[in-house]
């Protein structure tokens, strides 16, 4: 069980770093549809960061669920 917690901590740190490295785009205005002028397709490293962040988020959730199920026994 301890190795799951260690993997979860490492995953969370990598997830935070990958999110912080992403382009800071348009800000809060784009979340509500106020800014569509800066939309463009992600390429190269930005695309990798998006997919890497999604994969890390899924891995983090799976590790959290596994940690709960193993800890409940």
Q: Does 68 fall in a domain? A: yes
Domain-embedded: residue 64: yes
Q: What pLDDT score was predicted for residue 30?
A: 54
pLDDT for residue 31: 54
Q: Which residues contact 8 (CB under 8 A, 6 or more apart)?
A: 60, 63, 64, 67
Q: Give the chain's domain count.
A: 1
Inside any domain, residue 69: yes
Inside any domain, residue 34: no
Query: How far apart are alpha carbons 47 and 54 in whole angstroms?
Result: 11
Residue 39 lies in a domain: no
Which range of residues forms the domain containing residue 9?
1-23+45-73
Reading the chain (73 residues) residue by residue, the pLDDT tens digits are 689 999 999 999 999 999 999 876 555 555 555 555 556 677 888 889 999 999 999 999 999 999 999 886 6
Is 63 part of any domain? yes
State the DSSP code for 22: S
| pLDDT at position 24 | 66
Look up the pTM and report it: 0.73
């Amino acid at each position: 069980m301890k190795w799951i917690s260690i993997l979860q901590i490492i995953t969370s740190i990598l997830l935070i770093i990958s999110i912080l490295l992403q382009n800071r785009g348009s800000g809060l205005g784009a979340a509500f549809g106020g800014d569509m002028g800066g939309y463009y397709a992600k390429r190269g490293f930005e695309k990798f960061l998006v997919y890497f962040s999604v994969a890390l988020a899924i891995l983090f959730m799976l590790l959290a669920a596994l940690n709960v199920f193993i800890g409940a026994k």
